[in-house]
Chain A
């Protein structure tokens, strides 16, 4: 689980805090807003998903290459990676859609060689999930409920509950009239129809507006906390992962190249932290001199679009953002604004999957 927030601001008495760099996402603890503060976990820490040297091969192409991961019950695991990294193939192998060419895997103790047992315990929302446009949401969910062994009455009751839970209870029209967001919510409801132990979601927020994404994320967090559902989340939206995932696995070219908590991933990636400091224009030379004299500042650049702003790359081995701030204050330079942005998962992701850490550093100051 992600621990301390990686964003804080300092505000002088005279000037309000400046915005964070460019379009970088602001880290908002959504779980707090939804009353899930604390993320109280169940005592059950047994493993829900275990893979050992799992490989998926299409023809001669190895899509998943000897992947070994472990996901605890009730946790949310983010599976990240660039396009073609093997994420969808990994999910399809774990959901028994494609066979594993090599290795083993178990889902809540059931090996993939027992596909009926595995399928009974998983819910899946595929990346490209189609819907029978002529059916209503209730018919659709009732049908899937029956496929999981419920009788018609149970399936209908469960379907109605889920429709209400996902805000679709007053939509009697055919699925063909549904918006993208409604379809995604319906897909999630379908994946949950049998209250699965493990939920596999491949880009569940694809095409949703911010409010729709927020709804889905809150719902997933709630499922993990209240139902103990293990969630395997495959997405490109790293801020979502950073917010709700307990565990992250980053895939690249079929292999897991990093695994751990969000903090562990960031720390191990070597991604840099940055501070943006605004001083009065006439104080820039002194501020520059002072900062260059501190070991904590690895590099300093100027934001030409905002005169007075200095962007400092923090060398975490030799100091912190606080060190630079203290040095400035000791030298009589009073910052008008000070924003610190710790390394984010997106920085770590880029560093890990591309290895171009320098590009990231340069890009921030431009």
Chain B
């Protein structure tokens, strides 16, 4: 028995529908289902929550003996959230294309009339939800640690603005790497190496203490700029007006890497296999 073709279709079912239509929502919806119902996203979120819980416990204990004040505790929660949330989103995006390639599911997707950029945009949006989920988990922790609306307001702003820009930038970068990487392992290793390379400068004592090179490197680097902004606003209580410079590189990186990921989508290939 041949399956019935739905009414309203063209001469051969849907084969005549040659106009490219927006399918990124379909891709994004399915990716979201796979990510969250499949358990991968929840695993990442569980790990993040565990780390944040331990940090919050230690920070609370320190605060009890006046080693850390509320602002420092909130700063710790926010910077950790930015670093780990970005990491989680990047890991998911780094797997998005190369993972499909490795699991032999990419070819079936590529032979559909869905424009390549729609595939990339759908996957990008799905990966970004890891950051959004991280944000949702981080906020209650920050609220508990803040102990007042002033610090909490700053924490929310830092997470929403600075954190989101960093996450968008690095998620797009992970996806761009995934598009060109021939293996999933390569994609993940390169993405993590990039993330570490970006995060490291802000942690090096020589860079931190340098009065010339240090600030420049930190400002150029989207992740370290975000972390520094969080530290300056939440811990050092420096005014927002002086911190705008730390938003430039995350914002630029978000735009550049997103455009790069979408443009690389045109050259989305199966890989070197024959």
Chain A residues within CB distance 8 Å of chain B? 58, 63, 84, 88-89, 92, 95-98, 110, 114, 116-117, 119-122, 124, 126, 128-132, 134-135, 139, 143-144, 146-150, 154, 157-158, 161-162, 164-165, 187, 190, 192, 194-197, 222-223, 226-227
Contact = CB atoms under 8 A, between A and B. Distances in A.
B157 interface: no
10 contacts: A84-B274, A114-B18, A116-B19, A124-B107, A124-B111, A134-B37, A143-B26, A147-B112, A165-B2, A195-B14
A120 B6 contact: no
A351 B66 CA distance: 89
B214 interface: no
A134 B9 CA distance: 31
Contacts of A161: 3-4
B5 interface: yes
Contacts of A126: 104, 107-108
Nearest to B110: A97
Given A124-B107, A165-B2, 18 more contacts: A58-B272, A58-B274, A84-B274, A89-B274, A119-B112, A119-B113, A121-B12, A128-B107, A130-B104, A134-B38, A147-B26, A150-B14, A154-B6, A162-B3, A165-B1, A195-B9, A196-B12, A197-B12
A99 B108 CA distance: 17
A60 B55 CA distance: 56
Given A58-B274, A143-B26, A194-B13, A119 B111 contact: yes
Contact of A129 (B19, B21, B108): B108
What is the size category of the interface that chain B forms with chain A? Answer: 35 or more
Given A58-B272, A150-B6, A120 B26 contact: no
A227 B2 contact: yes
B34 interface: yes
A150 B270 CA distance: 26
A42 to B, nearest CB: 13
Interface string B50-89: 0000000000000000000000000000000000000000
Contact of B3 (A148, A158, A196): A158
- 4 closest A-B pairs by CB: A195-B13, A130-B104, A161-B3, A117-B18
B180 to A, nearest CB: 16
B111 A122 contact: yes
A120 B17 contact: yes
B14 A194 contact: yes
Given A58-B274, A89-B274, A144-B112, A149 B14 contact: yes
A287 B149 CA distance: 109
A148 B105 CA distance: 17
B239 interface: no
Nearest to A125: B108
A132 B105 contact: yes
B15 interface: yes
B30 interface: yes
B34 A120 contact: no
A148 B113 contact: yes
A147 B2 contact: no
B208 interface: no
B114 interface: yes
Interface string B196-240: 000000000000000000000000000000000000000000000
Interface centre among B3, B34, B100 (most CB of A within 10 A): B3
A88 B274 contact: yes
Contacts of B274: 58, 63, 84, 88-89
Contacts of A92: 270
B23 interface: yes
Contacts of A117: 18, 113
A192 B108 CA distance: 12
Nearest to A95: B111
Contacts of A97: 107, 110-111, 269-270
A150 B8 CA distance: 10
Count chain B CB atoms within 10 A of each CB in A84, A117, A129, A147 and give the residue with the most: A147
